Structure 1
Amino acid sequence: MAEAHQAVAFQFTVTPDGIDLHLCHEALRQVYLSGLHSWKKRFVRFKNGVMTGVYPGSPAGFMIVVVSYMSYNKYKMLDPSLGLVAKLGHLPLALATQPHGRRVLVGTGLWVTIIMIMRNVLKSLLSWHGWMQSRHGSLTLSTRVWLFLVKLFSGRKPMLYSFQNSLPRLPVPSVKDTCRRYLESVRPLMNDEQFERMTALSKDFEKNLGPRLQWYLKLKSWWASNYVSDWWEEYIYLRGRGPIMVNSNYYAMDFLYVFPTSVQAARAGNAIHSIMLYRRKLDRAQIKPRMFNTSRIPGLMLLHTIPMCSSQYERMFNTTRVPGVETDTIQHMNESKHIAVYHKGRFFKVWMFYDGRLLLPREIEQQMERILADKSEPSPGEEKLAALTAGERTPWAKARDAHFSRGKNKLCLDAIEKAAFFVTLDDTEQRYDADNKVKSLDSYAKSLLHGKCYDRWFDKSFNIIIYKNGTMGLNAEHSWADAPIVGHLWEHVLSMDPKLGYTEEGHCHGKQHPNLPGPQRLQWDISAECQEVIESSLTVARALADDVDCHIIPFNEFGKGLIKSCRTSPDAFIQIALQLAHYRDKGKFCLTYEASMTRLFREGRTETVRSCTMETCDFVRAMVRDETVSFSRLRLLKVAAEKHQNMYRLAMTGEGIDRHLFCLYVVSKYLGEDSAFLKEVLSEPWRLSTSQTPLQQVELFDLVRHPELVSSGGGFGPVADDGYGVSYIILGDSLINFHISSKFSSPETVSRASLSDSFYLFTGSLNKFSSLFNRI
C-alpha cells in the first residue's frame, strides 16, 4: 500500500554559520491552493446566503428600485417618502447627510418593503391547498388565479433554499377533528365493544386534557418553525436505544438490469466523483428547489409550481449520528475534504482534493486500487470495530467515551465521523441474476441492509457500498433526513454513471496522477476491554440481521400506465392491493402505515396515511367472497381509491392524525399528565408499514428509449416484530419493484410467500378486466 504523502512545508538545521532554512515549494503550493479553495467556498456561501436572504428580490431588482426612485424624486420634484428623506438628514449618518445618500437609503427601504410584501403574499398563497381538488382540463377559476399569482410572486431563478422564508408553518389541527379522524381510522380494526371503549376515551380526552395540551402546541407552532420536526427527530430517532441497523437505516439499490463495469475500483471512482460533484452543487445551492410532484394526485398538472422545503439537504454530507448514554446527537461539519473507506477490516482516510481541485474519476479509482492492493492485516479489534454502530446505542456511547475520547483512537474516529461520507469496498459479490431472480435479489437486499454487521459505519449519514463485481448500493441513516432526500442524490449518481462512462477494459476515463499522495491507513489502539464490547455489540447485531427476511419482486405484468388508464391513482391501487394481500395472508386487517410528506410546510418531514379504511375493507371482503371482477366490485375499488387519495391530501396539508397525537403525548409527558387515550393510541403496533420511493428526477432517465436503466429502488426492515415492511417504486409504465421484509422468528409473517402471491392474484384480475373501468 502506498502510504500517505508526508509533505513538510519547511525544515531547518542549526549550523556554526547560523540557521539553514529549507523551504518545500510543493508543500507551500498545496497550502496556498488549499487556502484559496477554502476562501472561495466561504465567498460562495456568503453570496448564496445574501441571494437567498433577499429572495424573491435580487441585486438587479435593488438597482432598478433605487435608480427608479431617485430618478422619480429628482425629475418630478416629489417626495413619495412623505417627508422621510428630509428627516433622515438630521440623523448622524454619513450617508444621510447627502441628498443622494438619503435617496439611496429610502430606495433601499422601499426595496426591502417590496421583498417582504412579496414574501408574505407568497406565504399566504402557499397556505391555500384548494388546488388539490382540481383536475387536469377542468381547473376552477380560483385555482387558475392562484396559480398565476404563485408564479408572479415566486421570483426568477430560485436557488435551493430560496423559498424557505416563504413557506407556511405547519398548522395544528383541532383536537376534535384529530379524534374524529382517529376513530374513523380504527373502526375497521375493532369490534363494537372495543370501539365503544375507545370512543369514550376519546371523548374524555377531547373534553378534559386535550384542550390544555393543545394550548401548548399552539404556542409552540407560533414560536417554532415547525411544531413537530424537532420532537420527531429527538424522540422517534435519537432517543431510541436499540440498534439503528435494520430498525432505522434503509438501503437503495443499483440498476436492476445494467452492469456498467465489473472493476470494483472503477465503479467506486465514478460513483464517488458523482457524489462529490453533487456536494459541490449543494454547497453552492445550485440544485433547483424541489417542486411538488402532482403525479401523486391523479389528473393534476401543476408541476414546477409549488415549492417544497429544502432544509433536510443541509446535513446530507459531513454528518454523523453520535451516540449518547440517554440520547444521540447529530454532528454536522461545514466542510470535509476527505472520505473514509473500509476494506477487509482496515480503515482508510482518502483526500478528495489535490492541486486545489476535486480528484477526477480515474484518480479516485487510483486511490481505490491502492487500498485494494494493500495486504496489511487489521490491527487487533479493528476489523469488527464498526459493529459498535450496529448494536445497542448505550454500550456504544460508553465505549466511545472510555476508549475513543483521547489519543490516536480519537484522531482515527474523527477521521471517520468528520468524513464527507463512508465507503465500503465489499469483498463479496451481489447482482441480479436472471437465472436465479429470487435468491440473488434477496441476498442483495440483505447485504445492503446490514452486510456483515461490521463492514458499514451505520452512524454516518450514508454509506456507499461497492461490491467486488462492480455492483453498488447505499445504506442511509434515518434521523437527519427522510428517504426522498437521499433518493435525489442517488438518482444523480445513477444518471451520471453512463455519462462518465468506462473504457473497454472497464476503467474510468482519464489518466492516473503521478504525484498523488496515497490513502492514509488509520492506526488504532483498541484494548482488550474494548474488544469485548465490540464482540457483545456484534452478537446483538448478528441476531437481528439473521432474523430479517427480505424479498424483492420486480413486478412487470403492468405498471402505472394501465392503472392510470383505469382512472385510478397508482399509489392508491397498490395500497389497496396490499390490504387485500394481507387479508388473504392473515384473514384479518391491521393498522397500516403509509409515509406521506409534509414538505409543503417549512421544515416539514412526514405524516402517516392510515391506509386501512372502511372503504378498502368493503372492497377486500367483496373480492374475497368472489374473485371474479364485476361492476359492483370495481365501483368499490374506485370508492376506496378516492378515499385513500383524500386521506393523502389531508396528510400532506397538515390535517393528518399521528403527528398531532404524537406531539400531544410529548406535551403530556412534559406536564407530568397521564392520558389513557394517548397511551393506547401510541402503543398500537404498525404491522404493515409501507412507503413509496418516488422517482423525482424523471428527466434524468429516458425509460422509453432506455428501459434497461431502471433502479431496483430501496427498502427497509419491518417496524413490528410480527409485521411486514413494504417499499415500492413505480418505474415507467410497466414496472413496479417491491421490497418486502419481515422476521423469521415470527410465525405470523413470511415475506417470500404470502404478500407476493396474494398481490399477483389481485393484479392479475385487474389486468384481465381493466377495460371495465372506463365503463363505470
Structure 2
Amino acid sequence: MLGFLRTMVGKSGMVKPSCLVRPVAVTRITGRYLAHQESLPKLPVPPLKQTCDRYLAVLEPIVEEDELQHTRRLLEEFQTGGVGERLQKGLERRARKMENWLSDWWLKVAYLDYRMPVVVHSSPGVVLPRMEFHDRQGQMRFAAKMISGVLNFKTMIDNETLPVEHLGGQALCMHQYYQVLSSCRIPGTKSDSIVNYSQGRRPPSHITVVHNFQFFVLDVYNRPKTWAKAYSTLIKDRTNKESVRAIQKSIITVCLDAPMPRASEEQYRSRAAVQMLHGGGSRWNSGNRWFDKTIQFIIGEDGSCGVIYEHAPAEGPPIIKLIDHVVEYMKQSEMVRTPMVPLPMPRKLRFNITPEIKNNIEKAKQNLNIMVQDLDVRVIVFPHFGKNVPKSHKMSPDAFIQIALQLAYYRMYKVCCATYESASLRMFRLGRTDTIRSASIDSAKFVKAMDNSAIQNMEKVALFEKAVRGHRTYTDMAIRGQAIDRHLLGLKLTAIEDLTSLPEIFMDTSYAKALHYNLSTSQVPAKTDCVMCFGPVVPDGYGVCYNPMDEHINFAVSAFNSCEDTNASRMAQTLEEALVDLRDLLEQTPKAKL
C-alpha cells in the first residue's frame, strides 16, 4: 500500500494555482529571511505604572473587593519600595541585549518546562472538512496530494520566497514558518528541547508515514540521502535510536488512520476533533501518532482528516496558513505532468521492544486512555450568522464572539472568570503571544445587565457596544506589546534570577486567580472551513477555539469529564444562545433611538 503512495508523490512546485500562497520570486533569494527579520522592531517593555494600573483594572471583575484592596496595597509597595523599579530596569537591560526579551523565557515556561503530557494539555488539533473517499485507494490518493501540497509550501520556505505577512500595513515576523517543518520536540527529565533539522548541511528529504501503529520512512525527493551509520549489530539502543531519529528529522509525519467509530452527522465533527487531538485511545488510532512531532497530517480511511501539531515551535496562524495552502493546492484539477521520477521504496522503522519498554508502553496506554476518557469535546457549526452580522453593526467579529463567551459563562455560573485570548506579537522580532483579557469591567457590566428585565434595551446596547470597543482597544494594545501578562511574567522571572525572595504581588491570591483561566480561548481564522481544537488549561475550565466564516462560525469547546461543574455540550449550547440573543438585541433595538 505504501509503495502505491510512493508512486503518487510527484515533484512539488509543478502546479500553477489561482488562489494559493504565491512565491515572491521564481528562484532562491538568499538572505531575504534574515534581512526581513533584522528590520523588525524589538518587543518593548511597557512602563511599570501602566502595567500595574491595568493589572488592577483586569482584577476588578474577577476578584472580591477585599482581595482587590489587598492587591492594591501590595502594588503600591511594589512600585514605591524600589523593588518594582529594580526589576523593571533589569528587564529593560535584558531587552537591550537580546533580540526578544520574552521569546526564550516563554518557550521554556509555557512549553518546554511544562511537565503535563502534550496530548490534550498542549497540542492543538485541526478538523478539516470531511473528504468523499471511503476506501484505502482514496485515502492514498488524498495523502499523496496532501504531501505534494506540503512540499510546494516547503519550497517557498527553502528558497526564502515565502511572502511576508502584514497587519495594518506593518510587516510581521515570519520566524515561526521556518520552525514547523523538519522539527520535533525532544523529551527531557526536567525540561524538553526543540530540534530543527532543516538548517543543517543536509536537510531531511523524507517524511514518516505511520499506519496500523507501524512507522515507515518515505523519501519524497529524488536526491541521495545520507543515513546514519549502517547498523553493525542489532543492539537495541542503536536500532531504537535511529528509528526515533528518522521520525524526529522527517519533514512531517502522515498518519494513515483506520476508520473512526461510526457516528451520526451531528456527532461526526466532535468525533473527528478527538481523533485529531489524541487518536481516540489505544484501541483506535492513538498508536498512529508521534506526539512530539511538530506537524502530523491525519488521514482516515473513512474520509476524516486533519492535523495535530506540537505547540512549542509556533502558534496556530502559521499552521493554518500551511493548511490553507495545502487544501487549495489539492483542489487544483490540472497538474503539469513531468516524467515519473522513481523514489526509493518506503523503509519500515524497527524497534527492539524489551520487557521494560513493553511495560512502559502499557503504562503509557493506560495513562492515555484515562486522558481520552476524561476529555469531552463538542464541535459545532453555528449556522445563524458569521462575520457578516457583527460587521453590519460595525463591530469586530472577534470582540462580538468574546463578549458572547462572557455572557454564556456568566449565565452558567453567575460570575465572571479570568479569560485568556491569544494575541499575536508578530509585529516584533521573534514575537509569540500575549494575553487579551476578555473579562473586563465593561464586559462584566454588560453581562450583568443583559438578562435584567428592569434595564431598557437601549441601555443594554450601549453597554454591549462599550464592551466590544473595550475589547478591541485591549486587543490593539496587546498586539503592540503593551498588555500586562508577559510584562508581569518578565518581572517575575527577573526576580527569580536576581532576588533572594519573590515579591509578594506574585504570591498574592489575586495573581493566582488572574492566571486561573476558566476560559482559554483563541480565534484561529482560516480560509478553509475548518476548526482548531485544544483542551482546557485548568481542571475546571473550558478550551474554546473558533473560526468565523462569512455566514457561519465553527466552534470547538472542550472540558474535562472529571469536573462536575463543567460540561462542553452545555457551554456550546449556551454560547449559541448568547450569540443569537446578542444579534436579536441589536436588530430589535431601533437604531434611531440609539
Deviation at 1:626, TM superposition (A): 2.7
Which of the numbers 358, 361, 371 marks the counterpart of 1:531? 358
Take 1:323 and 1:474, find their aligned partners in 2: how far apart are those partners? 21
Change in 2 beyond 3 A, CA 1:161/1:715: farther
Q: Does 1:521 align with 2:338?
A: no
Is 1:236 matched with 2:110?
A: yes
| 1:255 shift after superposition | 2.1
Alignment TM-score, normalising by the size of structure 2: 0.87
The answer as to whether partners of 1:608 and 1:656 remain within 8 angstroms in 2 is yes
Q: Shift of the alpha carbon at 1:511?
A: 9.9
Q: Does 1:411 align with 2:286?
A: no
Shift in alpha-carbon separation, 1:261–1:676, aligned structure 2, 3 A: same
Note if 1:170 corresponds to 2:43. Answer: yes
For 1:773 and 1:524, how far apart are their aligned partners in 2?
70
Q: Quick one: which of 290, 299, 323 aligns to 1:457?
A: 290
Higher RCO, Cα 8 Å, sep 6+: 2
Displacement of 1:768? 6.3
Paired residue for 1:307? Answer: 171
The answer to whether the Cα contact below 8 Å between 1:578 and 1:755 also exists between their aligned partners in 2 is no
Taking structure 1 as reference, are residues 285 and 767 closer, same or farther at Cα in structure 2, changes over 3 Å only? Answer: farther
2:14 aligned residue: none
* CA deviation profile, 1:552-573 (whole Å, cap 9, x unmatched): 1101101111111112111111
Does 1:725 find its partner at 2:543? Answer: yes
- Residues 686-716 of structure 1: CA distance to partner in whole angstroms, max 9, x if unpaired? 1111100023xx5xxxxxxxxxxx4222111
Partners of 1:428 and 1:467 within 8 A in 2: yes
Aligned partners of 1:274 and 1:492 also within 8 Å: yes
CA distance in 1 between counterparts of 2:380 and 2:257 reads 25
2:222 maps to 1:346: no
Tell me what 2:30 maps to. Answer: 49
CA–CA distance in structure 2, aligned partners of residues 238 and 408 of structure 1: 27
Deviations 1:64-89 (A, max 9, x none): xxxxxxxxxxxxxxxxxxxxxxxxxx
Question: CA offset at residue 470 of structure 1?
Answer: 3.0
Q: Does residue 1:317 correspond to 2:317, yes or no? A: no
TM-score of the two chains, using structure 1 as the length reference: 0.67
Give the letter for the 2:38 counterpart.
Answer: N
SS at match of 1:227: coil
User: 1:427 is aligned with what amino acid?
Assistant: A
1:454 aligned counterpart, secondary structure: helix
Q: Give the secondary-structure state (helix, strand or coil) at the position aligned to 2:287.
A: coil
Give the conservation status (yes or no) of the 8 Å contact 2:404–2:582.
no
Q: Is the 8 A contact 1:566 1:774 kept in 2?
A: no
Measure the CA separation in 2 of the matches of 1:472 and 1:627. 49
Counterpart CA distance in 2 for 1:609 and 1:463 is 29
* Partner SS for 2:567: coil
Q: Specify every segment of 5 or more residues in structure 2 that has no aligned partner in the other structure, as ranges.
A: 5-24, 226-233
1:679 maps to 507
Aligned to 1:276: 151
Q: Displacement of 1:513 after TM fit?
A: 5.3
Amino acid at match of 1:607: D
- Among candidates 408, 424, 443, match of residue 255 of structure 2: 424
- Structure 1 stretch 472-481 or stretch 436-445: which is displaced more? 436-445
How far is the alpha carbon of 1:259 from its aligned partner? 3.3
State how far apart, in whole Å, the 1-side matches of 2:72 and 2:110 are: 27
Distance in 1, matches of 2:578 and 2:502, equals 46
Q: Which residue of 2 aligns with 1:137?
A: none
Q: For residues 773 and 351 of structure 1, what CA distance do their matches in structure 2 show?
A: 64
Give the counterpart of 1:604 among 417, 431, 434.
431
User: How much does 1:651 deviate?
Assistant: 0.5
For residue 216 of structure 2, what is the amino acid of its counterpart? Answer: F
Q: Corresponding residue for 1:484?
A: 317
Change (3 A) 1:336 1:629: farther
**Structure 1 counterpart of 2:85:** 211
Q: Is 2:270 the counterpart of 1:442?
A: yes
C-alpha contact (below 8 Å) 1:349/1:520 kept by paired residues: yes
Letter of the structure 2 residue corresponding to residue 727 of structure 1: C
Q: Distance in 1 between matches of 2:235 and 2:115?
A: 20
Q: Which amino acid aligns with 2:212?
A: K
Query: CA 1:617/1:233 → structure 2, altered by over 3 Å: closer, same or farther?
Result: same
Separation of aligned partners in 1, 2:387 and 2:590: 15
Structure with greater Cα Rg:
1
Describe the superposition over 1:9-30 as per-residue Cα deviations: whole angstroms up to 9, x where unpaired.
xxxxxxxxxxxxxxxxxxxxxx
Letter in 2 for 1:533: N
Structure 2 CA distance for partners of 1:693 and 1:515, relative to 1, 3 Å:
closer
Change (3 A) 1:619 1:347: same
In structure 1, list runs of 5 or more residues that go unmatched.
5-43, 53-159, 295-304, 358-402, 502-507, 699-709
SS in 2 for 1:342: strand
Contact residue 112 and residue 191 of structure 2 kept, 8 A: yes
**CA 1:612 to 1:356, structure 2 compared with 1: closer, same or farther past 3 Å?**
same
Q: Give the equivalent residue in structure 1 for 2:56.
A: 183
CA-based RMSD: 2.7
C-alpha distance in 1 between matches for 2:156 and 2:244: 28
Distance in 2, matches of 1:663 and 1:355, equals 46
Q: Distance in 2 between matches of 1:325 and 1:512?
A: 49
Question: How far does residue 420 in structure 1 lie from its aligned partner after superposition?
Answer: 0.8
Aligned to 1:168, the other structure's residue is in SS state: coil
Q: In 2, are the aligned partners of 1:311 and 1:603 still within 8 Å (CA)?
A: yes
Mapped partners of 2:538, 2:461: distance in 1: 32
**1:762–1:483 distance in 2 versus 1, CA, 3 Å:** closer
Can you list the C-alpha shifts for 1:469-521, whole angstroms capped at 9, x where unaligned? 233100000011111111110110111121147xxxxxx99799595432101
**Structure 2: which amino acid aligns with 1:459?**
D
